[in-house]
Amino acid sequence: MEIKGNVTEFILFGLSDDPNTQIFCFIFFFFCYISLLTGNLVILISIHFSHLFNQPMYYFLSHLSSVDIYYTSSVTPKLIQNLLTKRKTISYDYCLFQVFSMHFFGSIEVFILTAMALDRYVAICKPLHYMVIMSRKKCNLLVLVAWAGGAAHSFPQLSMTLKLPFCGPNEIDHYFCDIFPLLKIACTDTYMSGVLVVLNSGIIVLVIFVILSVSYAIILWTLRTHSAEGRRKALSTCGSHFTVVVLFFVPAIFSYVRPPTTYSEDKVFALFYTIIAPMFNPLIYTLRNTEMKNAMRKVWYQKILGKENLNQLH
C-alpha cells in the first residue's frame, strides 16, 4: 500500500494518560470484548441450530450478531493491547484497515437494523401479507443489499483516506483510526473532504434514523387495534429493536452529523457504537424474548446432553 508522505505509523492518544485509569479500562474493555464475543456467538449458534433460523427476524439477528463480531474486532483488540503499552502506535496499513472495516461493517449493521425494522413493520402492520413480503428469497436479497451498501459506502471513504498526504505530526487524538482525526493531521486542505464525509456518513445515518423512528411510530399507532396480549408481545420485540437503534445511531449521529472537525467527546461517543452497543445487543434481544430464550435452552441442553452421552459411551 502506498504511503503518502513520510509517515509509516501513527501514535494514538488512547482514552487516558493516567496509568490507573488505563488498568481499569484494560480490565473493563477486556471483559466487554469477551462478553461481546460470547454473547453474539451464543445467539449465532442458537439461531442456526434451531427452528428460529427460518423466521426472518431471527435470520436478520444472526447476521447482526456476526457483523457485530467483525465490526468490534477491528478496533477493540488494538485498544486493549494499547492500554498496556506506553507508546500506542498503529501502522499506516492497519490504520487504513480500521477506517475501511469500521465503515464497511458499521454501514452493514445500519442496513441490517433497517431490514429488522422493516420485518417488524410488515409483521404488525401487514400481517396477512407477511410470508409473501418477507420470504426467504427477499430476506437473502435484503442481506445482499446490506453488504453491497456497506461496500458502496466504505470504498469511497477508503479511497479518500488513501489520497491524504501525511508529512507532519502523526499523533491521533483517538483510540482508533477514523476519518475526522486523520483529516485533522493531513498536510493539505481537507475542508471539502470533511464535507464529503458528513454527506456520506452523517446524512445517511441521520436519514435512516428518522425513517426508523417514523416506522416505529407507525407501529405504535397500529398497535392500538391489537389485543392486550398482542400489544405486549409486539412492544417487547419492538422495544428491544428500538433500544439497539438508539444505542447505535445517536452516538453515530453526534460523531458524523456536525462540522468536519474533532471534539474531545468523540472518543466517549465512539465507545457506544464500537463496543457498548454490540456488547448489549445479545442481552437486549434475549432478556425479554421468550422464543430466543427457549431456543437457547433447547440447543445448548441438547449439546451438553449429547456430549455427556458421548462421554458415557467411551
What tens digit of pLDDT does each residue of 17-31 get?
Answer: 888 888 998 999 999
- C-alpha dist (Å) from residue 3 to 44, 164, 185, 200, 307: 39, 9, 15, 24, 52
The confidence score (pLDDT) of residue 123 equals: 86
Domain count of the fold of the chain: 1
Distance CA 137, CA 133 (A): 10
Note whether residue 240 is domain-resident.
Answer: yes
Residue at 196 is within a domain: yes
Can you read off the three cell numbers belonging to residue 114? 433497517
The pLDDT value recorded for residue 24 is 92
Asked if residue 123 is part of any domain, the answer here is yes
Domain around 116: 16-309
Report residue 155 CA to chain centroid gap. Answer: 18
- CATH, residue 91: 1.20.1070.10
pLDDT for 29-58, tens place per residue? Answer: 999 999 999 989 988 988 888 888 888 988
Whether residue 9 lies inside any domain: the answer is no
pTM: 0.86
At 18 the pLDDT is 84
What pLDDT score was predicted for residue 3? 47
C-alpha distances in Å from residue 195, one per residue of 55, 97, 154, 198, 258: 41, 22, 16, 5, 9
Q: What is the 3-state secondary structure (H, E, C) of 175-207?
A: CCCCHHHHHHHCCCCCHHHHHHHHHHHHHHHHH
Q: Residue 5 falls within a domain, yes or no? A: no
Residue 167 lies in a domain: yes
Residue 10 lies in a domain: no
Residues in the chain with pLDDT values less than 50: 1, 3, 310, 313-314
Does the residue 85 lie in any domain? yes
